[in-house]
Structure formats: structure tokens, C-alpha cells
Copies of this chain bind each other. A is one copy, B any other.
Amino acid sequence: MSTIKDVADRANVSIATVSRVLNNNRYVSPDLRERVQQAIRDLKYEQNVMARNLRRNQSVTLGVIIPDATNPFFAEVTRGVEDVCFERGFIVILCNTSEDTHRAASYLSTLYQHRVAGIVLVTPGDLREELRYHIDKGDPLVLVDRPLPDVPADMVTSDNYGGGYQAIHHLVELGHRRIGLITGGHHLQTTKERYAGVQAALKAAAIPLEPGLVYEQGDYMARSGYEGLAALMQVPHPPTAVFAFNDLMALGALSYAYDHHIHIPDDLSIIGFDDIQASEFFVPALTTIAQPRYELGRIAAELLIDRILGNDHALTNERLPTYLVKRKTTAALVPVNGAHA
């Protein structure tokens, strides 16, 4: 691998001159410039960005730490980050934690050791101690999707509380009163917030929360949605509508319903959360609470890069709105009363 020195030798100039044509920030005579460029071509020289960054004491790399890039929600967030990075000349290092706090902590250190300019983090759990350590040093960081209290970092999240409220409100408006829940992990702030929104909406509609109607073992993956609906349909008075805390679990629920001849939305309404790209093509097309996934990533990246570039604004806590996307999995409750039996 050839270096700037090789180029300089071949072009019979000093390395300073080569550096100047590389960055063209100083005048170099056409003659020398041409010789240098020829040498670069001859040697297939590629600038060593690491060395450059070392000398300049800068970095054009962002770290992204997410639970699982295989989950469409995080994939879309990551895509937002990466697109901004591409536009602004950064590159992104991707790290999957599999919801493992240790792996996240490990990646956090690794990334800063690699001198990333900043990190976009979807935390798998309570990483406050590790974060404080890094933030105290001044390492830029932005928390996405899952906030963490008392951490002095930028955060960009969506309005999970509002989203939970909207989901239930929609179901209630359709006349449902027996509403089942398939939640996600309860250690997650997002789950808690959605749950709080649910409770508020239920209360507003004067519907008591029935413990039997909430399946708590959801883990935001499709299979648990399948199992969740299975459990919910086993209770004495099954729900007429179910709110799955994300689209993947809603997909699982749809699958269970199909397998057991539960007709959606006539027999049962299902509503999801996220509005991942595919949800439009679920069968039936999924009614869901949309989050601006891609925007979440974009905004986080913009925030981070701005801060890195020295535009230090006050700590932001951006909370993006969610909204209902009505499709085909929810419908008005048709009152079936005992008269038929």
C-alpha cells in the first residue's frame, strides 16, 4: 500500500506538495500538480484517512448501537442515520446488542476507543452508569427511541404515551370495551409509556383494566405476538380487540388468528405500533400507530453532527408525534348478544 511519501518520491516533490494537491488548499503550480496526480494514478495511491484524522484530531465516523438491525423498526432508524451521514461525509459503524446490556457497554467503549465522533444509541437497558462515564468525558451521544432519565444527553423519541392513547382511543371509538394487550418487555421505557397511554385512554373511557387481558410476555418479536394472542383467546371472556405493542407482534397475532379461524377484523380487531414498511402488506393490511422511524434516525444524526461540528445548542429532548394509520385490521364492534344462543 503506497503512502504519500511514495507519491512524493515518484513525482519528485516534497510530501507537503502532495498533501497540498490532495486537499487542494494551497496553490501548487500546474506543472507539479500534474506530476503529482500522475504519480497518484501510477501508484494507485489512496489517502490514509486514519492518519489524516490522527493529525487533524478529528473523526468522520458515527457509531450506531441498536438492539437488532434485523428488526425492521431499528433497520429503518439506522437507515435514517446513514443517509444523513452519507450526505455529510460521515460513515457509520453498526453495532447490534441483542438487548444485552453488557454487549452495549462493551461496544460503547470500543467505539470511543475507535474515536468515533459520536454515538447514536438505542439502549438495551439501564446504561446510565456507563453513559455518565463517557458523557463526563465529553463524548457526544444521542439517545434514540428509548430515553433514560437523568442522562445529560440529547434524546429523540416518539410520543409513546400519545401513541398508546391513540391506539386505545381508536378501538374504543369503534365500540370495543374488552381490549387485550400484547406488551413488550416491561423494563423498557417505551413499553412503560405506551402502557401509561393505554391506561389513560382506558380510564377516559371508563373501562377498567382487566389483568387477564394483558399478555406481558411479549418481546417485540413476531412469535410472541402469536403466543400472546393464543393466551388472550383462552381466557373466559376473550377480548374483541387487541393492541399489540409493535407491528411484528401484530403480525404474529394475525398469523394466530388465521390459523384458528378468527376472522380479522370481524371477529377481532388488531392494532399495531410502528408502521413498518411491510405493515401495509400484511393480511389484512395492518391498522397501526405510526412512528416516524426514518425521521427518528435522521434527526438524531443531524443533532449529533451539529454538536460534533461545534454548534453546541442546549440539550434537546425531541419528541416526535405518532399518528393513527387506519387500514383493515380494525372495525366497529358488532354487538353479539345472548339472544342468538
Contact = CB atoms under 8 A, between A and B. Distances in A.
A281 interface: yes
B283 A50 contact: no
A282 B222 CA distance: 10
A189 interface: no
Interface of A: 1, 44, 46-51, 53-54, 59, 61, 64, 68-70, 72, 75-76, 78-79, 82-83, 86, 91-96, 103, 109-115, 133, 136-138, 222-223, 225-226, 248, 251-252, 254-255, 258, 277-278, 280-285
Given A47-B113, A75-B69, A93 B93 contact: yes
Contacts of A284: 258
Given A255-B283, A277-B70, A91 B95 contact: yes
Given A69-B78, A91-B111, A222-B277, 7 more contacts: A61-B114, A64-B94, A70-B76, A91-B95, A92-B94, A255-B283, A283-B283
A338 B255 CA distance: 35
A69 B69 contact: yes
Given A75-B70, A82-B94, A94-B92, A112 B46 contact: yes
Contacts of A86: 96, 103
What is the count of identical protomers in the complex? Answer: 2
A218 to B, nearest CB: 14
A282 B133 CA distance: 44
21 contacts: A46-B113, A47-B113, A48-B115, A50-B50, A50-B59, A50-B114, A54-B54, A70-B75, A78-B94, A86-B96, A91-B95, A94-B94, A222-B281, A248-B278, A252-B281, A255-B281, A255-B282, A255-B283, A255-B285, A258-B284, A283-B283
Contacts of A51: 54
A278 B258 contact: no
A223 to B, nearest CB: 8
A266 to B, nearest CB: 14
B226 A254 contact: no
B91 A92 contact: no
B93 A91 contact: yes
A66 to B, nearest CB: 11
A115 B52 CA distance: 12
A223 B110 CA distance: 40
